[in-house]
Amino acid sequence: MPPYTFPPEWAPHDATWIAWPHHEPDWPGKLAPILWVYAEIARVIALHERVEILCHDAAVHASAQEHLAAHGVTENVRLHVVPNDRVWLRDSAPTFVHDDRGATTLMNWGFTAWAKYPNFARDADVGRAIQRITALPRLEPTRPDTGERLILEGGGIETDGAGTLLVTEEWLLSDVQVRNPGMDRDSYEKAFRNYLGIRQTIWLGEGCIGDDTHGHVDDIARFVAPGVIVLAYEEDPADSENHRRSVDNMRRLELAGAADGVLKVIKLPYPRAVTMQGERLPASYANFYLANGVALVPTFNDPNDRIALNALATLLPNRRVVGIHGVDLVWGFGTLHCLTQQQPAGTRSGGT
C-alpha cells in the first residue's frame, strides 16, 4: 500500500474550506455581487456539511458574517481570521490525503500564484493556518529530482480515488508559467506516486481557453466515479481553439482506455463564450464541486445550462444538483471547484 492516498471528491467530507472575497482586482467592478454569490455557495454547502471560512482580517470577517446572516446561514459555518491574498483555496490550500493508517495529512504544496502574480506570500502560508485550525499533520512535498519544494495547485490534479490521476501537459510541461523548472514527466509521476498514491497518470493536452492557470484540469475533465470521466467538449468547430483541444483530449482518453471500455467518457458541452471587457473567460460546467449529498454546478444563463445539469444529475443520482450563477464569478477566472477545498471525513477537528 502506498504511504499516502488521495481520496476522491465524492468520498464523505467533514468540511469544505473557502476564503471570503476581499481582493477587488480579482473581480474589477464586481466585488459587491460576488459576496452574495459566496453567501449562496456557503448556504447550499452548509445544508450538507460544515463550512470553514478564512477571512483576511476583522473587516472581512464582519462582511462575511453580514452576508451569511442575510442568507440565513447561521449554523454549520465557522469563520477564522487568516490573512490571504486571493480566495482560490483549491490551489493555495493543502490537499487533504490519507496516510497508510487512514489518518489525514495536509499535503502542503508550494504555491507561487500560478507562476504569474507577485503577491502570494500570504496564500503560501495558508497551509500553516489550516494546520493550526485542524491540528492535522502537514507535509511539504519536495521534487524527486532536486529536493526543492514541489510547486503544485489542487486545481491541476483530479483523481478517481483508485490510483488514477488526470493532469495536463499545458500545466506542467509547457514553457509558459513554469512551476518547477527542469522537472519532467517521469519526475512528476514519481511525485504523484510518493505523495498521492497514484499508479496511473493520464496526461491530457491543454485546458480551456481563458484559463488563467494555464491548463488546470478541473475546467475540462473530472471523475464522477472510478473509471467514469466527464469531459468538457466543444462540438462547434467555429470555437476553433476549444474544439481543437476537446478533440485532442478525447483522443488521449481513448488511448488511455476509453476505446477499450476501461474508461467511460461522457461529454459535457461548453456554454457560449463568456467574455468581459473583450477577454475570454474560462466558463466551464466541469468546474463543479461535490459536497456531501450535493453537486454545485456553475451556470451561465445559457441553453446548455440545462443540458449540463441534467447530464450531471443522471451521473450523480444520489446527489442534489444545484446550479450556482457563475457569470460574475468567472470574471475572477475561476468558479466553484477553484474556490473550494474538501476535508475528507474522519479527520480530527482542532481549534476554532
- Catalytic choice (82, 130, 338, 339): 338
What is the distance between the alpha carbons of residues 346 and 352, in angstroms, rounded to a whole number? 18
User: Active-site residue 338, yes or no?
Assistant: yes
- Residue written as cell 496564500? 123
Cα separation of 263 and 223, whole Å?
10
Query: Which residue in 163, 165, 176 sits closest to 206, CA to CA?
Result: 176
- The cell for 145 is 529530482
Alpha helices by DSSP H, listed for 167-321, are: 169-172, 185-196, 240-256, 304-315
In the structure, how many helices (H) and strands (E) does the chain have? Answer: 10, 19
Instruction: Determine the Cα–Cα distance for residues 151 and 115; give it in Å rounded to an integer.
Output: 9
How far is 230 from 246, CA to CA, in rounded Å? 12
Do the Cβ atoms of 206 and 241 come closer than 8 Å? no
Cell of 219: 475546467
Read off the amino acid at residue 159: T
C-alpha Rg value of the chain to the nearest Å: 19
Instruction: For strands 200-204 and 164-168, give the pairing.
Output: parallel
Q: Which of 316, 277, 306, 278 is nearest to 30 (CA)?
A: 277
Place of cell 480551456: 208
Residues belonging to the chain: 352
Catalytic sites, residue numbers: 338
